[in-house]
Structure 1
Amino acid sequence: MAEEVKLFGALESPFSCRVVIALKMKGVQYEYIEEDLPHKSPLLLKYNPVHKKIPVLLHNGKPICESLVILEYIDETWKGTPIFPQDPSDRATARFWAQFLEQKCLPTLWKACCWKGEGQEKAKEEAYELMKMLDNELEGKRFFGGDTIGLVDIVGNFIGFWYGIVQEITGVELWTKEKFPRLCEWIDEFVKCTIVKENLPPREKLLAYFRTRLRGAAASK
C-alpha cells in the first residue's frame, strides 16, 4: 500500500517552508495543498481544530500539527539525510536553539521591525542581544549543526530569508556584517544551499504579501 503524504501550507509562511525543506531532504513524495489563510478550508480546520493553523502534515490519514513537531516526526519516520543530530546531547542542544529561535527571536524581530514608538526601540535592543547570541553560537561553524544544514538552520529560515524582505519594506536594519559577521555569513550560506534555494517562495510574491499586510496593520491602528 502506497504512503499518503499531504502538506497543508501557505506560500508566505516560513513555518510551511520548514516542512517543505525537511520533506525534500528526506526525498519524501507528497501532495501540497495551498491554504488561503483568511478563508481556511474545512479540511484544515478538521485536521487542526485546536490551533486552526498551518502547517499540517497528513500521513496516511493521521494529522501532525505545529512545524517543530512535524520536523521531529519527519526525521523519525523517514530515513535519509538526518535533520536532528544523532548524539543525544547534540540533539538536546539543537532543540534548545530551535526553541530559542521560535519563542524568543521570531516575536522580537517582528516587534523590532513593525512596531512603532517606545515598544519598537525596546524590541530593537532585545533583538540585538539575541542576534549576538546566535552570532556567537556560529563561531567556527558553517551552519548551526556543523558542515550541513539541520534542525536549527531550518527553523531559522525566517532569519535567513523572510527577515530581509520585511527589512526592505520597513527600512529597519537590525544587523550588518560589521556587527554580526558570522550570522551574515550563515545567511549567505543558507540561501545558497540547493535544497533551500529550490524551495523558497518567490521573493516578489513575499514582498507584495508583506507590503499588503503591513499596510493593513498600519491602517488598523
Structure 2
Amino acid sequence: MARSRDDDDDEDFDDEDEAPRRSKKKGDGIPEGTPRVYVHKKCKGETEMPAKEIRKYLENPFEMDEAPKTYCAECEKDVPLKDCTWVETKQNAYEYIEDLRAEMVISGNDPRAGGPTYPWWMPLGVAVGAGVAFGFGTKKMEGVGVWGGVAAAVIGGAGAAVYFWFQFQQEKKGSEEWNRKLVARYYKRHPEAKKPSKKKRREDDDDDE
C-alpha cells in the first residue's frame, strides 16, 4: 500500500497493531480522477501525495520550480519529480504538471498573465522626487536650484526607465518563447488535443458537402 509523508510523520505515535492511517478521500476538494499515488522509479516505492499539495498545484502549477522535487516515503527523502510516475495514469509526474501548465496557457487562464505589469515608470518617479529634494536642499548653492535638480533627475530617471523597459521586453520575449515550447511539448504528447487549422476545417466542410 502506498505511504505518504503524513504516514511517516505519525509512525512514532502509532501503536504497532494499529492500521496505517489513510488520507481522507472524500470532501478534500480534489477532483475525481486526479492521480494521488506516484512510484519512484529508482526504489519502486509508492507514495501518496498529501491533498493540500495536490490542491496547491492544481490551482497554480506554475508555482512549482522548473526542477521540482517530491517526497519519497520509501527513500525517506525528496526526489526529482521527473523520476516519478503516477500509479493511476502511468504518466510521468513532471509531464503531468507540464500538461496542466500548457492547458492553462492554451485556455487563456494562465495565472501569471494577470499579474502586475512591470513598473518601468517607477525609476522616473523616484528620480524626480529625489531631484526635488536635492534642489530644495541645495537651493542656497550658487547655480543649483530646485529646477536644476529636477532636470538632472528627470534625465537620469528617463535613462533608467528606458533601461528597465528594455529589460522587461527581453523577459517578456523569453517568457513567450518558454510558453511556445511548453505548448509544443503538450501537443506532441497529446496530438488529439490540437485544434485543426482553418484550412483543414474548410477542407473537412467541403468533404461533408
TM-score by length of 2: 0.25
Which is richer in helix?
1
TM-score (norm 1): 0.24
If you compute each CA radius of gyration, which structure gives the higher value, 1 or 2? 2
